[in-house]
Structures are given as C-alpha cells and as structure tokens.
Amino acid sequence: MTVVSLTDVASYLPGEPVPAAYYTEYPDAEDKLRDHPMFKIPPLRHHAAAGETNTDMIERAVQPLVERHGRDEIRGVDVLLVHSQLPDIPFVGAGTEVARRLGLRPEWLIDVANAGCASFVHMLKLARQILTTTDATTALICTAQNLAGQWFTRSEVRGLAQAAIPGDGCGVGLVTASTESPVLDVETRHLGRYAGDMTVVLDDGRRYWEAGKSQPRIGFTEDIATEVLARGNRLVPEVVMDLCGRLGVAATEIDVFITNQPNRTFLRNWREALQLPSERHLHTFDQCGNLFGAAIPITLDHAIRSQHVEDGELVVLGGFAHAGDFAGAAAIRWHGGRG
C-alpha cells in the first residue's frame, strides 16, 4: 500500500495583532453569554484586511512551500483541496482561483464545504485516499479563515460575546506519496444528528441572501452553547482514543497534540481527558484566537518553526466542527522516514 506523508505545512496571519480592547470597549450589555466559558476572550487575534480574499491568504500561505520545495514542485501537484470558512462570492469556491494564481493544473480539484474547524483533518484523509487509489502523487490542502475581520466586526455583532473569539489566518499542507512524515491513520465521523444545531440568525427573520438591514450572527443561546460545550468535550477525546487504539498506542504516548481551538475550556478539557501535560498540547489561542479550520495547520507550522516538534515524534491532529456534526483525528510520525 502506498505510504502517504504530510510532508510540510505553512501558514499566513494577516495584519498586526488586534487587542481584546477592540471588543471589550464596544460591549453589548444585554448579551447573557458574556460570562459563559465558551466565550472567554483571548488577548489577541488577527483580522483579514479590507478586500483581502481567501485566495489572497492562500497564495501568501503557500509561498514558504514554494521557497522550500521549488515552484515547479508546487505547480505540479495532482490534487488541490480547499476549504474557505467564508466564501468570497456565492456559487464558486476558491479552488479554481487558487489554481489560477499559483499556476496549478491539478487532475483533482475539490472545494470542501464541510468539516469546518476540523477541515484540515478531513482534507488530509481525502488526500490520502486519492493518493493511495489513483496515480496522483502530490496534494496541496488549504484552509482559509476570514470570518473575524469581515463578519464579527460589524456594528450589530461586534458587541456580542461571540465576536471577540475568532481570528483570521490561513494554513496549508503539502501531502506526498512518500515516507517523509507518514500519515499513520485518520479517524473521521460525520454526525448528521447534530446538523442544523448551528444556525445563522437575523433579527428581521429574512434569509441571509435576501435584502434587508439586519446583520447576521451565529444563533447561540445559553442552552445551545452549553450543549455544544458538553458535546465537544466528548467528541474530540473519543476520536483520538479510537485512533490511538487502532494504532496500538496509548493516548498518553502522543508527543505533540494539536487541535482546533474554540476556547481555553475545550483545550484544557481535551488534554485532561487524554491525560496529556499542557506542554504537549500546543495551541496559538492567546495569540490568534479561534482560527476555525486554519487553527490546526497554523499551530503545527508555528510548532515546527519554534522546534517544538522533533523527528520521530507522534503528532496527533484532532478537532470537531460547528455544533458537532463532524469530528476527526489524524496521526503522523513526523519525519518518520528519516534516519
């Protein structure tokens, strides 16, 4: 069977860090969720600039891969998978524009609309499947998050508790048919029973695409937030432990654990459930906030560049999406083919 590796990752954060005061000085006194553990504010986050598109961020995130592997290697990828948290225009995903900007001519080009905050794990599984069952040998997987500076900064939303948590950024991965850093296994679950629990609300009752003046927001209530917190606490440790069980290792043997990062509560509860010390569960929440699907590759890139990931270590990526309609985990032996 073909061995597939997550050979490299790279990332991009837009603009200068935005402090918490940008939101705390603009409060909505009637928001009952302000003290809920789902919405504890990070000190910093980044915002995409006005007019900065998903494709702009992906193009900038890919540049370190071009510098390290050569333009011809990146242009020659067989598979391009793209997840955009907030599509730039209706109908058309970002994938074809990414291909045009980067000069790619992939045989496989898929805009992945689902899996949200765990989309990097989902796309890693898709890339692995394609590379092991076709003639394709290389894939580029990209996840762009641009909600923070465009959705949560509007006048009717900025004062809500939900607005101060997200940050913008983009993470990308190069996947190859090689033994460089083998993907040992991937566990994913599509949980349709939770579909629809995350909603978009407009005060005038219109649909988001209909003309009107009210500004859309995420439909969090205290009950829904509490349910999502309990659900997320359970889902991520479950998929990670099932993955480790198939690999024949204990969760405590994970050397580097990287997840999506909705808030500090999830981060603490996940590592405690897996009995991992905090120094092995890496995150960028305090610097970047909730990066949605971009959190996993951005944090992995930062961890590698800061030398927190060593050759031969077992790296596990995990997370859940939306209100729990997807959960997944992937295990990688970092640079496992070396030496």
Q: Please name each of the domains of the chain with its CATH number.
A: 4-179 (3.40.47.10), 185-333 (3.40.47.10)
- Taking the CA atoms of the chain, what radius of gyration do you get in angstroms? 19
What pairs with residue 12 in β-bridges? 170
Task: Check whether 336 has a pLDDT greater than 80.
Answer: no
Q: What is the pLDDT of residues 68-78, one digit of tens each?
A: 999 999 999 99
Task: Check whether 45 has a pLDDT greater than 90.
Answer: yes
Q: What is the pLDDT of residues 269-299, one digit of tens each?
A: 999 999 999 999 999 999 999 999 999 999 9
Over the chain, what is the mean pLDDT? Answer: 95
Q: What is the pLDDT of residue 339?
A: 36
Find the Cα–Cα–Cα–Cα dihedral 5, 263, 58, 181, rounded to 10°.
-10
Q: What is the pLDDT of residue 29?
A: 62
Q: What is the pLDDT of residue 35?
A: 87
Task: Check whether 140 has a pLDDT greater than 70.
Answer: yes
Instruction: For residues 212-223, give the mean pLDDT.
Output: 93
Percentage of residues in the chain with pLDDT exceeding 70?
Answer: 99
Confidence of residue 1 (pLDDT cuts 50, 70, 90): confident
Instruction: For residues 157-175, give the mean pLDDT.
Output: 96
Please tell me the pTM assigned to this model. Answer: 0.97
Beta strands in 27-180 (DSSP E): 44-45, 79-84, 108-111, 138-145, 169-177
Beta strands in the chain (DSSP E): 4-12, 18-19, 44-45, 79-84, 108-111, 138-145, 169-177, 183-190, 200-201, 217-218, 256-259, 281-282, 314-321, 326-333
Among 32-36, 110-114, 246-250, 313-317, the least confident range: 32-36
Q: What is the pLDDT of residues 51-65, one digit of tens each?
A: 999 999 999 999 999
Q: What is the pLDDT of residue 294?
A: 98
Cα separations in angstroms, 126 against 165, 213, 322: 29, 40, 20
Confidence of residue 337 (pLDDT cuts 50, 70, 90): low
Percentage of residues in the chain with pLDDT exceeding 90?
Answer: 92
Q: What is the pLDDT of residues 168-213, one digit of tens each?
A: 999 999 999 999 999 999 999 999 999 989 999 999 999 999 999 9
Q: What is the pLDDT of residue 123?
A: 98
C-alpha distance across the termini of the chain, in Å: 22
Q: What is the pLDDT of residue 207?
A: 93
Q: What is the pLDDT of residue 313?
A: 98
Q: What is the pLDDT of residue 34?
A: 85
Confidence of residue 245 (pLDDT cuts 50, 70, 90): very high
Cα separations in angstroms, 295 against 71, 138, 171, 335: 25, 23, 7, 21
